[in-house]
Structure 1
């Protein structure tokens, strides 16, 4: 792909993340990118093909980071904590990708392929297999991994504002480093508690 195509996909990513697939027209993307509609579709295809490319790029970026984390994670609890850190850090660094998935999980883009089965679930299964030996018999590995996912998405999308009067970020602001580190410590505690042997 050439630089212009990459730029157009970047504009589409931003708009899909902000507004969702269903509310973003190709005309809006063309206008935001400063090109005419015909050139946009010639370079990136129709709306479903463009969305597919946006989501595939998001998934590939996550898989690259998490794949590296899986390869380098040591055995035992520290390896599991390293995976949690890699996942949190990726989403802190890429709020646009997090927003794309949040839109999907709230019913956006229902007429597009089931990317969860194709991309997300295989990666979750790899992570579950990596930590399975740490888990007590009463802890479901898939549930634990998805609990981490849901916590990270809720935290980074501002969910803490709804439960804590001390939440320092305003609507639309990103969580500051100190707040992220406090949340990281909580995730570590969660994983430690969930991997404690049965007594």
Structure 2
């Protein structure tokens, strides 16, 4: 893939993450990229094709972050914590991709293919299967995986604005390291408690 195509997909990623697929036009992307619509379409295809490529990149980036930890996984509490850390760190580093999924979860791009079923669900199932033997009988491994997902997404998209004065007040500002580490410690405690046998 040439540099111009890569640049245009990057601009589209930021636009889709900012306002969602439904509200982003090809003209908006072209203007943000400093080109015209015809050139944009010629280079990256029509809007559904462009969105598909953006989402494939998001999924591939997530898998690239998680696969090394899955491959080196050693059954036990530390292995589960390592998976959670990799997922949290990936999302901190890729807030645009997180925003893309948040938009989808609220009904954005509803007329596009089932990207979750094709791309993201297999990875979630793989993680759930990896930790299944660690959870006691009264803890559903799938629910635990999604609890971590919901916590990470909620923390990074909404945070603790009414509690922590260190939380960024403007979109795009980085979360302070101390706030991240406080959340990470909480996430670790949550996982330890959910993996521990009842009683």
Structures share fold, TM-score greater than 0.5? yes
Q: Which runs of 4+ in 1 moved over 3 A?
A: 165-168
> Counterparts of 1:160 and 1:27 in 2: how far apart (Å)?
36
The alignment's TM-score, normalised by the length of structure 1, stands at 0.96
> Counterparts of 2:180 and 2:88 in 1: how far apart (Å)?
9
> Any conservation in 2 of the 1:160–1:167 contact (CA below 8 Å)?
no
> Counterparts of 1:67 and 1:108 in 2: how far apart (Å)?
28
Could you say which residue in structure 2 is the equivalent of 1:169?
Answer: 168
Further displaced range: 5-14 or 71-80? 71-80
Does residue 58 (structure 1) correspond to residue 58 (structure 2)? The answer is: yes
> Any conservation in 2 of the 1:14–1:96 contact (CA below 8 Å)?
yes
Measured after TM superposition, the shift of residue 133 of structure 1 is 1.1
> Any conservation in 1 of the 2:160–2:167 contact (CA below 8 Å)?
no
> Any conservation in 2 of the 1:158–1:171 contact (CA below 8 Å)?
no
Measured after TM superposition, the shift of residue 75 of structure 1 is 2.1
> Counterparts of 1:124 and 1:34 in 2: how far apart (Å)?
38
Structure 2: give runs of 5+ residues left out of the alignment: none
Could you say which residue in structure 1 is the equivalent of 2:145?
Answer: 145
Aligned-CA RMSD value: 1.1
Does residue 127 (structure 1) correspond to residue 130 (structure 2)? The answer is: no
The alignment's TM-score, normalised by the length of structure 2, stands at 0.96
> Counterparts of 2:51 and 2:64 in 1: how far apart (Å)?
20
Could you say which residue in structure 1 is the equivalent of 2:158?
Answer: 158
Does residue 87 (structure 1) correspond to residue 87 (structure 2)? The answer is: yes
Measured after TM superposition, the shift of residue 140 of structure 1 is 0.6
1:1-199 alignment runs, 5 A limit: 1-161=1-161, 163-164=162-163, 166=165, 168-172=167-171, 173-199=173-199
